Structure 1
Amino acid sequence: MDNQVMWQKSLWLLGHLSGLLLMAIPGAIAQPRTTAADLIPLNPNPDPLYLPSRPEQVTIDVDRPITLTEAIELARRNNRQLQIIEAQLQQSRAVLRQAESALYPTLSFQTNISRTDSAAIRLQNAQAQQAFIKGGGLGIPPVPLNTTSNTWTNTVQLGYNIFTAGQRSGSIQAAREQVRNAELDLQRQFEQLRQDVANDYYNIQQAEALVRIGQAAVQNSQISLRDAVARERAGLGTLFDVLTAEVQLANNQQQLVQAQSQLKTAQRQLAKTLSLNDKATVQAADPIQVVGEWKLSLEESITLAFRNRVELEQQLAQRNTALQQRRVALGNLGPQLVAGGSFNTTDDLSDSLAPRWGYTVGGQMNWTLFDGGVSRASAAQQESSAAIAEAQYAAFKNLIRFQVEQAYYTLKSSQENIRTNEVAVRQATEGLRLARLRFQAGIGTQAEVSNAETSLIQAQSNLLSSTIDYNRAIAALQRFVSGLPLNPQTASTP
């Protein structure tokens, strides 16, 4: 209970210190929140095959501050990897519909119209005429047969596989398991995407804060250099103090340039994850503060992760798919019974008779008695696939526990670091104030001021890092437990 109260007080104090830090650092004023309309220019070109070809088409001219919630929504809508998996899900559903078509009979219709001028009949007529002439023309002259015919034939054919030795049901069940696996993969990708977006967003927050800290450090160094120069001109200081201040200023300027470069890189990384417009970039609108408490114990987090993680269900789906494919393979050795029938009509268009019709009905059984071991070998492959899925299930279970434990321990250590670094920031701030007073009074040195500035920068950076690490640990726990809302304070054991 005491630890809980201390943590709540630390959260309040951290927020208070963050506010003071924001007011003390130029450029740290919170950005105005965006609206839904403000996010429209961030959307990518609707044509996925669009490829910029001119420099002005990739020149950044849209810069928007967004919250973490808005970033996740943009990723859900625009992330290319998520779109690929959604397309794969639709593909799996189409495969299922194809497999289910075996439940129904096949019905086909064929029509054929033709005109035939028979060379054989022409030869027969010529031979008859020749024989009549050779016989002296006696008797009845032969009547020439019609050499041409115009026919119209229509056929309707119906077929159905009555018994497939389990192949039909096995194929359908395997396709359903594939659909289930694709649905689970979509959930997995979205959970992973949430964590990736959160980490990229926290990277921007950290880089922006480091830039602000760097700017404040440069200003502090400029003040120290000004004081050192004034004291040296007044004969109260030394050239060494001026050189020390100049070196400190140069170091802080270099660190500021590096922080600005890291910020640009972090912004482009988030833009890639969100699949933003080629001419857009984003800033972090959320202030740097702890996102809340993780109310679940380690044991509750582990058991909830076992229930929620789709990776375990995916392995079960893959195992079931392999078992159904085994049924399909062994079905090749079973009897296959097919029934069917056809109805046809034929009409000679050159005569006055009505069309004539006919039909055919029948059945056929095929039974492969020996196929050289192909089917049983294929079944053995699927049995191995099922065993692999079972082993991967056990491996994922161990990995899930390790991931939760690692994130949980990081969360707890970050909590302690936040408390420690809060005190360090207060002490370093007071130390810098006293060092400047001592230097201005002539009883301190510029080296003391420089050391105090360095200590304050380090303490601020440590507090920033511990806060970001805490938030990253929350995001990791949300990912590794899965199925939880964005706000961890609402997470509880069902």
Structure 2
Amino acid sequence: MKYLPNIVGLLLTLLPLLGTMVQAQVRQLTMENAVKLAIDKNRDLQVATLETSKATQKVQEARGYGLPTVAASAQYLYYFNKQVSFLPGSFVGLGEDQLAMFRVGGSNTFLGGVAVSQPLFQASVRSGIKAAQIDGLATDQALADVRATVVTDVKKAYLDVLITQEQLRLHQQSIARNEQALKDSRSLLAQGRASRVDTLRAYVTLENLRPTLIQLTNRIGITKTVLKRTVGLDEREGIELQDSLRYDDALFVSPSTDAFLDAIQARPDVRRVELVEQLNREQIALQTAEKQPKLAAIGLVQSQSQANNFRLGDYQWPVSSYLGLQLNVPIFTGFRTNSRIQQAHITRQQSETQLANLKEIVRAQVKISLANVQEARLRIQTQQQTISVAELGYRIVRDRWKQGISSRLELTDAELSLTQAKSNYLQAVYDYLTAAVDLDKVLGRIK
């Protein structure tokens, strides 16, 4: 027992360390895993999934209008003044033009029954079911469209983190080259082979690079925050990206000759608008059906009793019931039905126009996306050659500067050209990968 205080103290010391170790755990994230996590955790996608469940319930609701309606009712009344009935006066010896008044019934009245109604003919039921089914299909396509958007956003957010990390690495390489140049300049200054101005210029050039290093480091944190929010991860969770920003032309899947028709057939947003247009046509039929007669079978079973006391065992409970048909023929509804029909026609025309406009938008998007991909590929090929030339030029100028043949300004220009060439190549690869992601969405390749 004498060691217990020491053990407790040791545990209290280790608990914060354990908590820090748990918090320090970093999720290793590839682009594929990020997409899978987003499909499971993204809140926009969860909302869209719940919308499909709601659409399923709407179909059940529409079918319910064709099923029987059963309602039970119960009622209790207490009469301070009993009910009044009127009879001809001749019944009690009064004149023929007089009425006799009687108070009848008990002070306590109980009434209970069960009513049933079964639609036999109601044209709007079938149209309502079909409209709900079409709406459910449109909701499924809306979910697919949201899923495609989420996948695209996740991939682009992932690429944003990658290019920021690569820009930071590229900037660190530039700083390393300038640090070496400053070291060489100081060495040459000590040997009397370089001027003090060249050394000062090398120092200023190096220090001017450091603020950008801070900005890029901060930007990495921002882009990771955006990625975690898009995926649906906790903001406090650490992530480390496993993929790299690289160009592989072999992975590019060239679209077919008629990419526009493929996009029209594959894109969920186009299919959803087509279904909405069908739904609006069905809405016209649904509103028109309101002009047709409605026939239903109805029935009622009820029992009632009255008394002046609450001795329920002495009550009489006579039962009455009936079964019949009820016909409802619309004659005049204040032009409301005609107005709803016209509104449905206008809505259908709007959806037709929206569909035609969306197809033209898709045509333009396909053309632009293909052009962006092709442009980025050409830029990559050009910049690959430019980097090789810039590296060779930098090495030559650096060697000439060490020999005192070239000036410090020429070395600075050569280093800047090399950094710019690598930066342009990096941007071209990023633009290519981003354009490829956009092209997949435009062509409806994201399932």
One-letter identity of the residue aligned with 2:65: A
Q: Which residue of 2 aligns with 1:71?
A: 34
In structure 1, C-alpha distance between the alignment counterparts of 2:228 and 2:402, rounded to whole Å: 48
Contact 1:107 1:159 in 2 (8 A): yes
Match of 2:54 among 85, 91, 100: 91
Match of 2:139 among 182, 187, 191: 182
Alpha-carbon distance change, 100 to 115 in structure 1, aligned in 2, over 3 angstroms: closer
Contact 1:170 1:324 in 2 (8 A): yes
One-letter identity of the residue aligned with 1:311: D
Q: Which residue of 2 aligns with 1:237?
A: 194
Match of 1:318 among 265, 272, 276: 276
In structure 1, C-alpha distance between the alignment counterparts of 2:354 and 2:374, rounded to whole Å: 30
Percentage identity across paired residues of the two chains: 21
Shift of 1:282: 2.4
One-letter identity of the residue aligned with 1:66: L
Shift of 1:370: 2.1
Shift of 1:330: 2.4
Is residue 303 of structure 1 aligned with residue 261 of structure 2?
Answer: yes
Query: Which segment drifts farther, 374-383 or 245-254?
Result: 245-254
Shift of 1:75: 0.9
SS of residue in 2 equivalent to 1:368: coil
Structure 1, residues 74-97: CA drift from partner, whole Å, max 9, x if none?
A: 111111111111122222222222
Alpha-carbon distance change, 221 to 253 in structure 1, aligned in 2, over 3 angstroms: same
SS of residue in 2 equivalent to 1:363: strand
SS of residue in 2 equivalent to 1:396: helix
In structure 1, C-alpha distance between the alignment counterparts of 2:364 and 2:106, rounded to whole Å: 85
One-letter identity of the residue aligned with 2:358: F
In structure 2, C-alpha distance between the alignment counterparts of 1:99 and 1:405, rounded to whole Å: 43
Shift of 1:359: 1.3
Shift of 1:105: 0.8
1:148-227 maps to which residues of 2 (within 5 A)?
A: 154-164=112-122, 166-227=123-184
In structure 2, C-alpha distance between the alignment counterparts of 1:415 and 1:120, rounded to whole Å: 95
1:36-51 maps to which residues of 2 (within 5 A)?
A: none
In structure 2, C-alpha distance between the alignment counterparts of 1:194 and 1:181, rounded to whole Å: 20
Q: Which residue of 1 aligns with 2:334?
A: 372
Contact 2:82 2:106 in 1 (8 A): no
One-letter identity of the residue aligned with 2:286: V
Alpha-carbon distance change, 218 to 182 in structure 1, aligned in 2, over 3 angstroms: same
Contact 1:333 1:370 in 2 (8 A): no
Match of 2:296 among 313, 338, 345: 338
In structure 2, C-alpha distance between the alignment counterparts of 1:378 and 1:85, rounded to whole Å: 29
One-letter identity of the residue aligned with 1:313: R
Please report the TM-score for the alignment, with normalisation by the length of structure 2.
Answer: 0.82
Q: Which residue of 2 aligns with 1:103?
A: 66
Contact 1:105 1:158 in 2 (8 A): yes
In structure 2, C-alpha distance between the alignment counterparts of 1:120 and 1:295, rounded to whole Å: 88
Q: Which residue of 2 aligns with 1:11?
A: none
1:246-285 maps to which residues of 2 (within 5 A)?
A: 246-285=203-242
In structure 2, C-alpha distance between the alignment counterparts of 1:353 and 1:440, rounded to whole Å: 121
1:331-410 maps to which residues of 2 (within 5 A)?
A: 331-346=289-304, 356-410=318-372
Alpha-carbon distance change, 439 to 65 in structure 1, aligned in 2, over 3 angstroms: farther
Match of 2:245 among 269, 288, 298: 288
Is residue 438 of structure 1 aligned with residue 400 of structure 2?
Answer: yes
Alpha-carbon distance change, 147 to 460 in structure 1, aligned in 2, over 3 angstroms: closer
Q: Which residue of 1 aligns with 2:384?
A: 422
SS of residue in 1 equivalent to 2:405: coil
Shift of 1:293: 3.4
Q: Which residue of 2 aligns with 1:467?
A: 429
RMSD, matched Cα: 2.7
One-letter identity of the residue aligned with 1:380: Q
Q: Which residue of 2 aligns with 1:141?
A: none
In structure 2, C-alpha distance between the alignment counterparts of 1:211 and 1:96, rounded to whole Å: 54
Shift of 1:352: 6.8
Query: Any gaps of 5 or more consecutive residues in structure 1?
Result: 1-55, 122-145, 486-494
In structure 2, C-alpha distance between the alignment counterparts of 1:364 and 1:433, rounded to whole Å: 98
Contact 1:76 1:190 in 2 (8 A): yes
Contact 1:61 1:279 in 2 (8 A): no
Contact 1:62 1:279 in 2 (8 A): no
Alpha-carbon distance change, 65 to 454 in structure 1, aligned in 2, over 3 angstroms: farther
Q: Which residue of 1 aligns with 2:43?
A: 80
SS of residue in 2 equivalent to 1:103: coil
One-letter identity of the residue aligned with 2:135: Q
Alpha-carbon distance change, 175 to 147 in structure 1, aligned in 2, over 3 angstroms: closer
Structure 1, residues 53-79: CA drift from partner, whole Å, max 9, x if none?
A: xxx9xxx85543411001111111111
Alpha-carbon distance change, 304 to 115 in structure 1, aligned in 2, over 3 angstroms: closer
In structure 1, C-alpha distance between the alignment counterparts of 2:377 and 2:106, rounded to whole Å: 98
Q: Which residue of 1 aligns with 2:411?
A: 449
